[in-house]
Amino acid sequence: MCDTCGCNVTPGNAHLAHAPQPEGVTAVSVLRGLLSENDLQARHNRTHFDAHGVLAVNLMSSPGAGKTRLLEATIDALRDELRIAVIEGDLETENDAERVRAKGVAALQITTGTACHLDAHMVHDALHRLPLDGVDLVFIENVGNLVCPASFDLGQHRNVVLLSATEGDDKPAKYPVMFRGADLALLTKSDLLPVLDDFEPARAEAALRALASRAPLLTISARTGDGLEGWLAWLRGELRAERERLATHPPASPSHPHARPRARMLP
């Protein structure tokens, strides 16, 4: 959908744009995303990543699904192959960033206070403090929350959603907005599946498919390393795909966001 030529006025919403107006009042048709400030900043962030040939992956899950543990295992496995940097989102502590730094990787902590998600402006601030030269992969570990992070584009290239075996296998049905946007779903803590008689991986996959999602669902244990290879292969493949895209469509240099076009006055 674009905001410049009016092509966002569709048969479905035209009646809203051309509603009658009371006398003495001017109606202005807008039809612009409510989060356009955020989305503009997100596009700018993406240009930052593209200018450095970086693949940015947004990791989302409920609290405790194992995002940081997955990062630690990923850094260990890819240490000699790819350069990784991490942006950590957390309400209060710097604990996760310290765990990542202990692996020898640059990690920038965004402390959100009571905010339940990261937004594109927070990530942009982090980007200016995180050197991206020579970096291949940036993970953005979002605040543990299956609701709000789904509404905010951060400028990432891929969304990965973790669902741990200690949660319900109906999570995708309960949090459709989050799981529908996933490019990859990871069923984590799979080493616990034998002792959890109420989590059925097939039911989790059925709930994901009911959201019309074609995202792969990989079963993985960062603790034992089971399934890790599939996740690493996915990362390598997506990094390759992004680099091919950049080779055919070279990125613009990240300039400051441009002013948006003016909203149109109704005739």
Partner 1 sequence: MHELSVCQGMLAQVSEIARDHGARAASRIVVRVGPLSGVEPALLAQAFPLARAGTVAAEADLVVEPAPVRVRCERCGAETEAAANRLLCGACGDYRTTLTAGDELLLVSVELVREEEVMSAKR
Residues near partner 1 (CB under 8 A)? 12-13, 16-17, 19, 21-22, 24-38, 115-117, 119, 147-148, 150-152, 172-174, 176-178, 180, 207, 209-212, 214, 262-263, 265-266
Nearest distance from C-beta of residue 38 to partner 1, angstroms = 6
Q: Which is nearer to partner 1, 64 or 176 (CB)?
A: 176
Nearest distance from C-beta of residue 207 to partner 1, angstroms = 8
DSSP string, 181-202: T-SEEEEE-GGGGGG-TT--HH
Nearest distance from C-beta of residue 55 to partner 1, angstroms = 24
Q: Which is nearer to partner 1, 28 or 233 (CB)?
A: 28
Q: Which is nearer to partner 1, 207 or 228 (CB)?
A: 207
Query: How many CA atoms within 13 Å lie on the side-chain side of 42?
Result: 18
Long-range contacts of 250-254 (CB under 8 A, 24+ apart): 251/47, 251/50, 251/51, 252/47, 252/51, 253/47, 253/51, 254/44, 254/47, 254/48, 254/51
Q: Which is nearer to partner 1, 172 or 254 (CB)?
A: 172
Residue 85 parent element (H or E): strand 84-90
Q: Which is nearer to partner 1, 252 or 259 (CB)?
A: 259
Q: Cα(53)–Cα(51) distance, rounded to whole angstroms? A: 6
Q: Which is nearer to partner 1, 21 or 224 (CB)?
A: 21
Q: Cα(235)–Cα(222) distance, rounded to whole angstroms? A: 15
- Are 55 and 138 in contact by the 8 Å Cβ rule? The answer is yes
Please provide the distance, in angstroms rounded to a whole number, between the alpha carbons at the two ends of the chain.
22
Q: Cα(180)–Cα(183) distance, rounded to whole angstroms? A: 9
Nearest distance from C-beta of residue 63 to partner 1, angstroms = 16
Nearest distance from C-beta of residue 149 to partner 1, angstroms = 9
The full length of the chain comes to 267
Q: Which is nearer to partner 1, 177 or 233 (CB)?
A: 177
Which residue, among 233, 229, 226, 204, has the nearest Cα to 217 in the 3D structure?
A: 204
Nearest distance from C-beta of residue 74 to partner 1, angstroms = 27
Nearest distance from C-beta of residue 194 to partner 1, angstroms = 29
